[in-house]
Chains A and B, each alone.
Chain A
Amino acid sequence: DAGITQSPRHKVTETGTPVTLRCHQTENHRYMYWYRQDPGHGLRLIHYSYGVKDTDKGEVSDGYSVSRSKTEDFLLTLESATSSQTSVYFCAISGDQGETQYFGPGTRLLVL
Chain B
Amino acid sequence: GNSVTQMEGPVTLSEEAFLTINCTYTATGYPSLFWYVQYPGEGLQLLLKATKADDKGSNKGFEATYRKETTSFHLEKGSVQVSDSAVYFCALSRDSQGNLIFGKGTKLSVKP
Contact = CB atoms under 8 A, between A and B. Distances in A.
B32 interface: yes
B45 A98 contact: no
Which size class do A's interface residues fall under? 20 to 34
Contact of A33 (B31, B36, B89, B99): B99
Interface stretch (A12-20, A67-75, A99-107): A99-107
B99 A97 contact: yes
Nearest to A31: B99
A90 to B, nearest CB: 6
Interface stretch (B12-20, B64-72, B73-81, B101-109): B101-109
Nearest to B97: A56
A100 to B, nearest CB: 6
Given A99-B32, A103-B43, A45 B49 contact: no
Contacts of B100: 98, 101
Contact of A100 (B49, B94, B98, B103): B49
Contacts of A103: 36, 43-45
Contacts of A98: 31-32, 93-94, 98-100
Given A33-B99, A98-B98, A106 B42 contact: yes
A43 B102 contact: yes
B37 to A, nearest CB: 11
28 contacts: A4-B43, A33-B99, A41-B104, A42-B102, A42-B103, A42-B104, A43-B44, A43-B102, A43-B105, A48-B97, A56-B97, A90-B44, A92-B44, A97-B98, A97-B99, A98-B93, A98-B94, A98-B98, A98-B99, A99-B93, A100-B34, A101-B44, A101-B46, A102-B46, A103-B43, A103-B44, A104-B43, A106-B43
Interface of A: 4, 33, 40-43, 45, 48, 56, 58, 90, 92, 97-106
Q: Ordered nearest first, which 4 A-B pairs have the shortest CB separation?
A: A98-B93, A103-B43, A42-B104, A98-B94
